[in-house]
Amino acid sequence: MTDLDGVSHDPGGHRDGLPVVLFACIHNSGRSVAAKVLAESLGIGQVEVRSAGSEPSSVVNSNVAAVLAERGLSTVDESPKLLTPELVRTADVVTMGCGETCPIFPGKRYVDWEVDDPAGQDLDTVRRIVRDIEGRVRALLAELSGDLTR
């Protein structure tokens, strides 16, 4: 099976046996992008990361991009993507908060993170939001790496 990026996966959605995490929110321009970029940076070799939104924006939130850049992380390769049933089906964990718009598949783990929306917020507020997301990403990665050792 091949995903939207042309990467082959086994039927569970895994590449190289890594757990797949999908960060999903409404616009896929702020919170889910921050979570994806942080998870990719912090979870190198531990997890495959994707993000999408139920109503994707046309661009990444500029303040989120600026806060991540302060940390040496780039959003240049990020663009908001549409949340599809296939993205959810091939994920092990779906998190962030896509709510009622998120397709439900048996056997998937859904974790709703109540994280403030960075849209329209000043840089200090966005820094706080990104710190919150980073803490949650670190905890999820630690949990997933523990699952891998069992």
61-65 average pLDDT score: 98
Average predicted confidence (pLDDT) for the chain? 85
d(CA 89, CA 106): 9
pLDDT at 1: 34
**3.40.50.300, 3.30.420.40, 3.40.640.10, 3.40.50.2300: which CATH number matches 20-145?**
3.40.50.2300
- Report which of residues 99 and 76 the model is more confident about: 76
Indicate if the pLDDT at residue 40 is higher than 80.
yes
Rg of the chain over Cα atoms, rounded to whole angstroms, equals: 14
Task: Give the pLDDT confidence of 92-122 residue by residue, as tens digits.
Answer: 998 877 666 677 777 788 888 989 999 999 9
Residue spans per domain, the chain: 20-145
pLDDT at position 3 over 50: no
Q: Output the pLDDT for position 14.
A: 53
Angle (nearest 5°) at CA 19 between 14 and 1: 15
pTM as predicted: 0.84
| pLDDT for 45 | 85
The long-range contacts involving 5-11, CB below 8 angstroms and separated by at least 24 positions, are 9/90
